[in-house]
Structure 1
Amino acid sequence: MPTRRQFIHSILFASAAIAAPAAFGRTISGIPWSPGLADQPALPDSTQTFFTAAERACVRAITARLIPSDETGPGADEANVVAFIDTQLAGFYGRGQRWYMKGPFLEGTDEQGYQFERPPAGLYRMAIAALDEHCRRTHGDKTFAELDTSLQDDTLSAMEEGKLDFEGLSASAFFELILDNTIEGFFSDPIYGGNRDMIGWRLVGFPGARYDYRDYLDHDGKRLDIPPVGLAGRPEWKAP
Structure 2
Amino acid sequence: MEPMHPRLSYRRTGSGEPLLLLHGIGATMDDFSALVPRLAEHFDVLNVDLPGHGSSPKHIGRPTISALTDVLEADLDAHGLDRVHVLGNSLGGRLAIELAVRNRALSVVALSPSGLGLPPERVYQGALMTAARLLNKARNPFIEPMSRNVLGRTALTTGLRAMPWKTTRAEALSVKGGFAESAGFWSMLWDAILTDVPTGLDRIDCPVTLGQGVLDTVASAQTVRYVPLIPGARFVPLPWAGHAPQSDCPEAIVDLVRRTAARASTYCR
TM-score (norm 2): 0.27
TM-score (norm 1): 0.29
